[in-house]
Amino acid sequence: MQEVLTKTTTSVSKFKNNPAESLRQAAGKPFAVLNNNEPSFYVLPPELFEEVMEIYWEHKMREELLTASSQRNLAIKVNLQDL
């Protein structure tokens, strides 16, 4: 059995029959769409989806930047006369 990560759920058949009604009942909060009592997918309002994607992007970019910086030599030789 898979954990449901929202307080609100609906069945896939109810969602398919009237998605607009499911969205109205959720009142801007995320909800899970269940198939055989297992989460099939989650529905998020656009603002929350943007926030999740920003967090994901920051996390992914931080790891890529850390990996890239550890793979190259960060020491830079400087001639005092050039300063």
Q: Residue 39: its pLDDT value, please? A: 97
Count of the separate structural domains present in the chain: 1
Whether residue 39 is contained in a domain is answered as yes
Whether residue 62 is contained in a domain is answered as yes
CATH number of the domain to which 21 belongs:
3.40.1620
Q: Residue 44: its pLDDT value, please? A: 97
Answer yes or no: pTM beyond 0.85: no
Whether residue 57 is contained in a domain is answered as yes
Q: Give every strand in the sheet of 31-35, ordered side by side.
A: 9-11, 31-35, 38-43
The per-residue pLDDT string of the chain (83 residues; one tens digit each, 9 = 90 and over) reads 789 999 999 999 999 999 999 999 999 999 999 999 999 999 999 999 999 999 999 888 887 777 766 666 556 677 777 76
Domain residue limits at 18: 9-71
Q: Residue 4: its pLDDT value, please? A: 95
Whether residue 23 is contained in a domain is answered as yes
Q: Residue 67: its pLDDT value, please? A: 73
Interacting residues of 1 by C-beta distance below 8 A, sequence separation 6+ = 37, 38
